[in-house]
């Protein structure tokens, strides 16, 4: 057993850290906590910078546009990326983070060649069309119809909670191609150009007053049948594989560590009754308790990385990373806003306020939703209970 | 010991409830987010016409001279609908300071206007580096001849953007965190040297930063005695805090009602999500938290009404309890609503934001637990 | 609205307080926290003292052996009783606390005259036979058979978690007299003399190393049919009425206040790093937070008392008193043991230790079970959700 | 970075697991509650024969000289079965202090006996009013001629009732709470002036109060240097604490296994209670807590193994995390078992008691969070 990184890994870490220090634009730095607040022009520019460096999807092999990083290097990379305060890139999250790996495994050669290069360069932005108004936690109940007519599927229905749809070019979809059997079995996986006639996009305003997601309506939308991924009726299985792939990355621990570090630094600078807030015995105790939990989660990632090294992929038990991570992140953001004192009640866009206040209040609001998206805490706990602990389902 | 409401209390409750239903809506809240004031002067005027500004004020100034339980009833209903009008800051804070400490001429100058809704008055007492400590006061008032000259900066002045008068804490003696040596001044925003910076709070209301640069105020603008402003301020803030707690309980109740309705109607996996055990038990916890918070509010309100020696303690208990309860309830509500709970299209999110602002207003849980500790002598 | 007691109530409070101060034996005082540790001889003696004073069941009308207290006086009485540190009297808990009110409402004149006087004097000790091995939370599933043969019911089956059965004389029982219809409908309510042949009692050792409850086995036990309370098949309804009656008293708030006061006093005397523990900023903050919660619960009882005065009986919403009270009591006992430092790990029967350590460790163990007995927290939360908030059951 | 166990580790794990299964049972625990020692000398001897006392000791003294991860593997399995034998106090505390600080002759006197299981040695360092502070030491050692004379009282000496030797902290200079000026002495219970008062812990093990009244000890009984005992003690306690954390994680796993089995088999309302959502989600939380605690233990064990500068910090993180996790898991388990969980007839209650004792042993969560704060420099 060893706690330290190897000297190669340490060297890589230093290289990444230094590069981000030197190359992250000031207006991209320290934007992590606020969540979805990075302005879109800035995001595309930052995408391009990373693409040119070859780090837009560093976990991919070099021949596919990545940097061929090992699991540990990838972890180090993500950790240091967060550590510079840059927010997750929504321009790559669903495209390179989810769809590309799926296409590489289950897509046709044509699909791979047609779509992946533009994902890398940032030319094509993708969004994900899974949830529907009546299919949230119960995703398999989805209703959106796709009927094959000649060379085209004809789509009718609605998707919702589609992140970035109003800035995206393409969407990948779970659609119902068969309603006769078990509900999981009639689902297929399609790719659609958002410029296709019949698609209407309506942004949904979140509690942050931004619109990070949209409703997408489909009215007799014709999608060429070569845009089917996998076989007809394989959609549920593909979605499962895609989510499987995401498990380890479902919770960005680097952002958590960045957040708790932010709280610590802030409380060193804030004055309370003549002393730094961090010296207030109750505050420092809360901070210490959170740091213990954050460290334990970080060590858990180390432990899972060790398992990955010897080839055991994390199964459903990795669900707990997302449950615990999101709930812990929420507690960190609670303390972050607590550190602000009266300023914690303020909303954004006021010259008087510095960025850290803006990040704290937006970030706090955002943190309340992390336990909802990507499989709510309730769903994940049920997965742990039934799939990991094997408690009876009925 | 008696925590019963009289039929008069209940009849006010009914009037307020029907007013909130008729003259207010969540869509009004949505619109008001883009308004710098965050409330409607028209609605404010209507409330004044109903006599609500004068609820606890003496008849002499146009008030109804009712007991403090009416404040609870009124604010609980405001809280249910998240009515954004600045009742607490005007009636319990600004006007109340004049009522409790002002000279007869000050009272006659100010209170009738508060009662009629024509004069807006709030208090300015928080400063940078003082966090929630109301005795932290670096703003100076220097006597030169007959007048005082005030310099300093107040932050988060509640509803300060529409105020015609500020009651400002100043230091006339002792040092920055002492309770003695604080003097209250009435200052109008038109005075030379007064500068307002508008702020917006998370729940869409207004506040401001108030900067005073050598602002002149005659001795007749002192409220109460020179150097003896702290007890007045403390009493007014306690009453405002108790009022806020009542408002918070109303918000808790509304959050629970909205959540229960949603759980009963939204189906997943073929049945209403309210049939699942985890949502049921979470909803039960929301109810439990609300019941306890409500009791703490009754006790605080009755303590103020009866002017017991324990009223400050009772207020800190209520604020600590309500802050955590409101926060827990609204967080759980968002979680139970799922995605729609996180949008401005749903109503429940407004309660989450109000819960956060309410938690911070008049001191967060840390502040009140700390104050509780000191007041109970350990 | 008024927070203070009336002068009559205040006078009564003073009288009760003084009487307990003067008359509670030293070996009965300060025994509350440990739970079930009061030795039985002592308990019977203490019962007799209270009986002679006329305070064994002060909430009863005078003609029935009580002191005719109002709801508020009764609250004051219970509060001050706990405040002297005397533990709840198991010799009256189920007899006078549960069965007697039921007999007064639903029993025959003969049953009342025969049983209640001996409950008052402490001559007859009762225990309650509701739970069975397979009918705990799901009480209506109870299996114990009672078949009417001539003038007698013949009982076969088993009860469990029967408190005090090994010291009791009589037991009241829910038995199954009909298995044909809905499971709630075939249940009857019987009284049985524990000396009847065929009854075997086996004490169950709890985590405290005491045996506060027993298993009771019935093998062809003959119970005269005049021992039926109410009508055949009315047992479930009667049990409901009995539990209804108990709702307000289901959680003894006086004991909670006594417990938190104990923690406070202890932390004033314990020295930590040269100062009283209560001055440790983190400890005092925890204490303050608990005191706020305890006070809020106390005020809730005040609020309910006000409702009782105008005649509105607490409905199922009063379930929350037990849920919250028992969970809060557990947190108080956690802090109580935390205050002890290293002594918190010690077990009893050591001369070196004072009673407060004994009470703390036993009481901590006991507190972990309060959320189980008398309707578990889970069951109570379901009651609140479905009966108070009216969430759908199916 | 590598948190993998080698095949050697896994093979020890298997041996220990089968030993625990064969030579230990919960019924043995039930019997041992009435035994003053709370463990079996016979089982102890068997463990020694398997070489486990010498696991990390040098070959020179009969040990196996293995790395610290073997300690984790061993104690995790002990923790699963709640094996009550005093391995931690003897090997990681008493013997370890001699190993780290003793002279060659002390080592040769003590360590072979520890390895063979024939000599029992523990450490005595807690005092009244010192709570968990290991630097709090009022026990004096006064030099008179060639010998020291020790007077003082140590509380909760772990497994002290069967000890043949105590390593006792004494103050030879500085004042009561200083880290400098603490000297370690080896003292045998047969010395004149030594008095033992037996204690029983909540989980049925033994401890004692050790009173020393002018007990004479030659200078050759000093372990390490005079006045420099604190760093040795601190290191040994850190290792013992890391070991305890491994044991705790084993207990967490066993508690979860027992609970899952019960939930799957016990039926109410016509189905296994494990099908209800609330028990399912509670069980999931138990699992989550255990996973995090386990990671903190890996980190602490590996830090000790690698002797990094952060090992004390890593130990305090692990102890804080394991204490709260073990407590939460066992409390939830009792609740899920219902009545049977609260009896000595079920097995799960043993874990609740062990969790409480483990939480307190070597410093509770407050102590370790406080220590974490100081070690991380704020």
Work out the average pLDDT over D243-247.
98
pLDDT at C42: 86
pLDDT tens, residue by residue, D137-178: 999 999 999 999 999 999 999 999 999 999 999 999 999 999
pLDDT tens, residue by residue, A187-235: 999 999 999 999 999 999 999 998 999 999 999 999 999 999 999 999 9
- Would you call C310 an interface residue with chain A, using a CB distance cutoff of 8 Å? no
Q: How many inter-chain contacts (B to D, CB under 8 Å) are there?
A: 8
**Is 60 exceeded by the pLDDT of residue C353?**
no
pLDDT at C356: 80
pLDDT tens, residue by residue, C126-136: 999 999 999 98
Catalytic center residues of A: 246
Work out the average pLDDT over A334-347.
94
Question: For residue B134, which of B26, B40, B258, B241 has the smallest C-alpha distance?
Answer: B241
D129 contacts on C by Cβ (under 8 Å): 271-272
- Label each residue of A195-208 as H, E or C: CCCCEEEEEECECC
DSSP annotation string for A263-308: HHHHHHH-EETTEEGGGSHHHHHHHHHHHHHHHHHHHHHHHHHHHH
Residue B281 and residue D276: Cβ atoms within 8 Å? no
Q: How many inter-chain contacts (A to B, CB under 8 Å) are there?
A: 113
- Would you call B277 an interface residue with chain C, using a CB distance cutoff of 8 Å? yes
Question: For residue C360, which of C270, C249, C273, C253 has the smallest C-alpha distance?
Answer: C270
pLDDT class for C298, splitting at 50, 70, 90? very high
Q: Mutate which of A281, A284, A286, A338 to disrupt the C interface (most C C-beta within 10 Å)?
A: A281
Identity of the residue in C3, C5, C310 whose CB atom sits nearest the CB atom of B299: C3
Domains of chain D (ranges, CATH numbers):
7-120 (1.10.540.10), 122-227 (2.40.110.10), 231-375 (1.20.140.10)
Question: For residue C220, which of C153, C132, C129 has the smallest C-alpha distance?
Answer: C153
Residue A271 and residue B334: Cβ atoms within 8 Å? no
How many of the other CB atoms lie within 10 Å of CB of D234? 16
- Give per-residue burial for D21-42: e unless 16+ CB within 10 Å, then b: eeebeeebbeebbeeebbbbee
Contact B356, A364 (CB under 8 A): yes
pLDDT at A245: 66
How many of the other CB atoms lie within 10 Å of CB of C22? 8
| E strands in chain A | 126-129, 145-149, 152-163, 170-176, 187-193, 199-204, 213-224, 228-229, 271-272, 275-276
Identity of the residue in A1, A287, A390 whose CB atom sits nearest the CB atom of D305: A1
Instruction: Tell me the C-alpha distance between A243 and A247, whole Å.
Output: 6
**Is 80 exceeded by the pLDDT of residue C354?**
no
Phi, psi of A70 (to 5 degrees): -70, 170
DSSP 8-class letter at C384: I
Domains of chain A (ranges, CATH numbers):
7-88 (1.10.540.10), 126-235 (2.40.110.10), 250-388 (1.20.140.10)
Q: How far is CA B219 from CA B166, B184, B185, B228, in A?
A: 15, 11, 9, 14
Contact D323, D357 (CB under 8 A): no
The half-sphere exposure of A161 on its side-chain side, counting CA atoms within 13 A, is 20
Distance from CA of B284 to the nearest CA of D (A): 13
Distance from CA of B70 to the nearest CA of D (A): 41
Residue C382 and residue B303: Cβ atoms within 8 Å? no
**Is 80 exceeded by the pLDDT of residue C246?**
no
- Helical spans, DSSP H, in chain B: 7-23, 26-32, 41-49, 69-81, 87, 95-101, 104-116, 229-265, 277-305, 311-337, 348-360, 365-375
Instruction: Tell me the C-alpha distance between A392 and D267, whole Å.
Output: 11
Identity of the residue in C138, C206, C337 whose CB atom sits nearest the CB atom of D342: C206
Q: Mutate which of C132, C207, C274, C379 to disrupt the D interface (most D C-beta within 10 Å)?
A: C207
Phi, psi of A247 (to 5 degrees): -55, -50
pLDDT tens, residue by residue, B116-157: 999 999 999 999 989 999 999 999 999 999 999 999 999 999
Q: Partners of D151 in the beta sheet?
A: D140
A287 contacts on D by Cβ (under 8 Å): 378
Share above pLDDT 90 across residues of chain D, in percent, rounded to a whole number: 96
pLDDT at A249: 66
Length of chain A, please? 394
**Is 70 exceeded by the pLDDT of residue C269?**
yes
A281 contacts on C by Cβ (under 8 Å): 281-282
Instruction: Tell me the C-alpha distance between C220 and C208, whole Å.
Output: 33
Q: Which of C39, C246, C261, C352 is catalytic?
A: C246
What ipTM describes this predicted complex?
0.96
pLDDT at B1: 79
User: Regarding beta strands B165-171 and B121-124, do their DSSP bridges make them parallel or antiparallel, or are they unpaired?
Assistant: parallel
Work out the average pLDDT over A311-340.
90
Phi, psi of D44 (to 5 degrees): -55, -45
DSSP 3-state assignment of A130? coil
Nearest Cα residue in chain B from C324:
B288
Look at the alpha carbons of B365, B371, B374, C1 in this order and tell me if their dihedral is positive or negative: negative
Q: B353: which residues sit within 8 A by CB, 6+ positions away?
A: A207, A365, B202, B203, B204
Look at the alpha carbons of A187, A193, A194, A198 in this order and tell me if their dihedral is positive or negative: negative
Contact D149, D189 (CB under 8 A): no
Average pLDDT along chain D: 97
Taking only Cα atoms into account, the Rg of chain B, rounded to an integer number of angstroms, comes to 21
- Would you call A285 an interface residue with chain C, using a CB distance cutoff of 8 Å? yes
Instruction: Tell me the C-alpha distance between B239 and B244, whole Å.
Output: 9
- Give per-residue burial for A246-276: e unless 16+ CB within 10 Å, then b: bbbbbbbbbbbbbbbebbbebbeebebeeee
pLDDT in tens, chain B (378 residues): 789 999 999 999 999 999 999 999 999 999 998 899 999 999 999 999 999 999 999 999 999 999 999 999 999 999 999 999 999 999 999 999 999 999 999 999 999 999 999 999 999 999 998 999 999 999 999 999 999 999 999 999 999 999 999 999 999 999 999 999 999 999 999 999 999 999 999 999 999 999 999 999 999 999 999 999 999 999 999 999 999 999 999 999 999 999 999 999 999 888 999 999 999 999 999 999 999 999 999 999 999 999 999 999 999 999 999 999 999 999 999 999 999 999 999 999 999 999 999 999 999 999 999 999 999 988
- Would you call D278 an interface residue with chain B, using a CB distance cutoff of 8 Å? yes
Q: Partners of C199 in the beta sheet?
A: C218
User: Regarding beta strands D147-158 and D140-144, do their DSSP bridges make them parallel or antiparallel, or are they unpaired?
Assistant: antiparallel
**Is 80 exceeded by the pLDDT of residue C244?**
no
DSSP 8-class letter at C132: B
Work out the average pLDDT over D192-201.
94
Q: How far is CA C137 from CA A95, B152, C98, D270, in A?
A: 50, 64, 19, 12
pLDDT class for C40, splitting at 50, 70, 90? confident
pLDDT class for A90, splitting at 50, 70, 90? confident
pLDDT class for C247, splitting at 50, 70, 90? low
pLDDT class for A353, splitting at 50, 70, 90? low
Contact B245, B319 (CB under 8 A): yes
**Is 90 exceeded by the pLDDT of residue A311?**
no
Instruction: Tell me the C-alpha distance between B55 and B70, whole Å.
Output: 7
Contact C301, C75 (CB under 8 A): yes
Distance from CA of B132 to the nearest CA of A (A): 7
DSSP annotation string for C78-105: HHHHHHTTPPP-HHHHTIIIIIHHHHHH
Length of chain B, please? 378
Identity of the residue in C137, C141, C204 whose CB atom sits nearest the CB atom of D345: C204
- Would you call A209 an interface residue with chain B, using a CB distance cutoff of 8 Å? yes
**Is 70 exceeded by the pLDDT of residue C91?**
yes
Look at the alpha carbons of C260, C261, C263, C268 in this order and tell me if their dihedral is positive or negative: positive
Q: How far is CA C195 from CA C99, C122, C147, in A?
A: 19, 17, 20
Residue B4 and residue C310: Cβ atoms within 8 Å? yes
Largest CA distance in chain C: 76
pLDDT tens, residue by residue, D185-194: 999 999 999 9
Contact B238, B315 (CB under 8 A): yes
Q: Mutate which of C281, C341, C352 to disrupt the D interface (most D C-beta within 10 Å)?
A: C341
Residue D67 and residue A268: Cβ atoms within 8 Å? no
Nearest Cα residue in chain A from B200:
A347
Instruction: Give D269-277's long-range contacts (Cβ < 8 A, gap of 24+).
Output: D269/C137, D269/C138, D269/C141, D271/A392, D271/A394, D272/A391, D272/A392, D273/D336, D274/A385, D274/A391, D274/A392, D275/A391, D275/A392, D275/A393, D275/A394, D276/B277, D277/A382, D277/B276, D277/B277, D277/B278
Average pLDDT along chain C: 91
B320 contacts on C by Cβ (under 8 Å): 289, 292
pLDDT at C264: 96
Query: Exposed, middle or buried by CB within 10 Å (0-12, 13-18, 19+), for D323?
Result: buried
Identity of the residue in B197, B342, B364 whose CB atom sits nearest the CB atom of A207: B342
DSSP 3-state assignment of B237? helix
Identity of the residue in C296, C306, C393 whose CB atom sits nearest the CB atom of B321: C296
- Would you call D264 an interface residue with chain A, using a CB distance cutoff of 8 Å? yes
């Amino acid at each position: 057993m060893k706690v330290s990184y190897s000297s190669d890994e340490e060297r890589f870490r230093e290289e990444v850290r230094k590069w981000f220090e030197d190359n992250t634009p000031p207006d991209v730095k320290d934007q992590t906590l606020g969540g979805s607040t990075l302005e879109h022009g800035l995001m595309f520019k930052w995408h391009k910078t990373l693409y040119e460096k070859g780090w837009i999807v560093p976990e991919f092999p070099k021949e596919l546009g990545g940097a061929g990083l090992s699991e540990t290097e990838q972890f180090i990379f993500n950790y240091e990326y967060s550590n510079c305060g840059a927010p997750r890139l929504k321009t790559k999250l669903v495209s390179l983070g989810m769809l590309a790996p799926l296409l590489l495994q289950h897509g046709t050669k044509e699909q791979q060649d047609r779509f992946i290069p533009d994902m890398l360069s940032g030319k094509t932005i993708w969004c994900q069309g899974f949830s529907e108004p009546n299919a949230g936690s119960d995703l398999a109940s989805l209703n959106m119809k796709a009927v094959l007519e000649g060379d085209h599927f004809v789509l009718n229905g609605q998707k919702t909670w589609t992140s970035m749809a109003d800035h995206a070019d393409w969407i990948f979809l779970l659609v119902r191609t068969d309603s006769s059997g078990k509900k999981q079995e009639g689902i297929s996986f399609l790719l659609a150009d958002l410029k296709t006639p019949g698609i209407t996009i309506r942004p949904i305003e979140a509690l942050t007053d931004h619109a990070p997601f949209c409703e997408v309506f489909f009215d007799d939308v014709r999608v060429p049948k070569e845009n089917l991924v996998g076989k007809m009726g394989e959609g549920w299985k593909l979605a499962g594989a895609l989510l499987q792939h995401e498990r380890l990355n479902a919770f960005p621990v680097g952002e958590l560590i960045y957040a708790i570090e932010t709280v610590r630094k802030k409380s060193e600078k804030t004055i309370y009754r003549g002393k730094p807030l961090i010296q207030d015995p109750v505050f420092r105790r809360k901070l210490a308790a959170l740091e213990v939990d954050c460290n334990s989660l970080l060590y858990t990632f180390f432990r899972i990385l060790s398992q990955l090294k010897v080839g055991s992929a994390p199964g459903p038990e990795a669900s707990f990373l997302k449950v615990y991570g999101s709930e812990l992140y929420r507690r960190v953001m609670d303390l972050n806003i607590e550190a602000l004192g009266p300023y914690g009640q303020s909303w954004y866009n006021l010259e008087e306020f510095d960025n850290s206040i803006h990040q704290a209040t937006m970030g706090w609001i955002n943190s309340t939703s992390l336990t909802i998206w990507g499989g709510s805490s309730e769903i994940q706990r049920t997965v742990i209970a039934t799939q990991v602990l094997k408690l009876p389902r009925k | 010991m008696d925590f019963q409401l009289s039929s008069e209390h209940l009849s006010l409750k009914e009037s307020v409830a029907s007013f909130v239903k008729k003259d207010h809506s969540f869509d009004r809240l949505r619109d008001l987010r883009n308004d710098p004031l965050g409330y409607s002067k028209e609605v404010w005027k209507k409330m004044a016409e109903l006599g609500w500004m004068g609820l606890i004020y003496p008849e002499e100034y146009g008030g109804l001279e009712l007991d403090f339980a009416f404040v609870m009833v009124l604010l609980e209903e405001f809280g249910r609908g998240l009515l954004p009008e600045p009742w607490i800051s005007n009636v319990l804070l600004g006007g109340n300071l004049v009522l409790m400490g002002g000279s007869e001429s000050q009272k006659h100058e100010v209170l009738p206007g508060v009662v009629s809704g024509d004069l807006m008055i709030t208090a300015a007492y928080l400063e940078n580096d003082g966090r929630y400590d109301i005795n932290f006061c670096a703003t100076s008032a220097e006597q030169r001849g007959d007048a005082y000259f005030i310099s300093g900066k107040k932050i988060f002045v509640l509803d300060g953007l529409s105020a015609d008068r500020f009651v400002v804490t100043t230091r006339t003696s002792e040092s920055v965190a002492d309770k003695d040596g604080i003097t209250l001044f009435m200052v109008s925003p038109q005075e030379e040297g007064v500068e307002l910076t508008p702020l917006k709070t998370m729940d869409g209301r207004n506040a401001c930063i108030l900067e005073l640069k050598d602002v002149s105020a005659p001795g007749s603008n002192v409220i109460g005695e020179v150097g003896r402003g702290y007890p007045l301020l403390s009493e007014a803030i306690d009453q405002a805090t108790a009022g806020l707690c009542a408002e918070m309980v109303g918000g808790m109740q509304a959050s629970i009602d909205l959540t229960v309705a949603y759980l009963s109607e939204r189906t997943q996996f073929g049945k209403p999500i309210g049939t699942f055990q985890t949502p049921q038990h979470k909803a039960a916890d929301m109810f439990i938290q609300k019941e306890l918070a409500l009791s703490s509010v009754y006790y605080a309100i009755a303590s103020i009404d009866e002017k017991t020696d324990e009223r400050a303690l009772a207020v800190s208990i209520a604020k600590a309890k309500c802050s955590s309860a409101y926060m827990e309830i609204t967080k759980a509500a968002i979680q139970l609503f799922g995605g729609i709970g996180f949008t401005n299209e749903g109503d429940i999110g407004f309660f989450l934001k109000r819960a956060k602002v309410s938690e911070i207003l008049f001191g967060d849980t840390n502040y009140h637990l700390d104050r509780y500790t000191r007041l109970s002598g350990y």
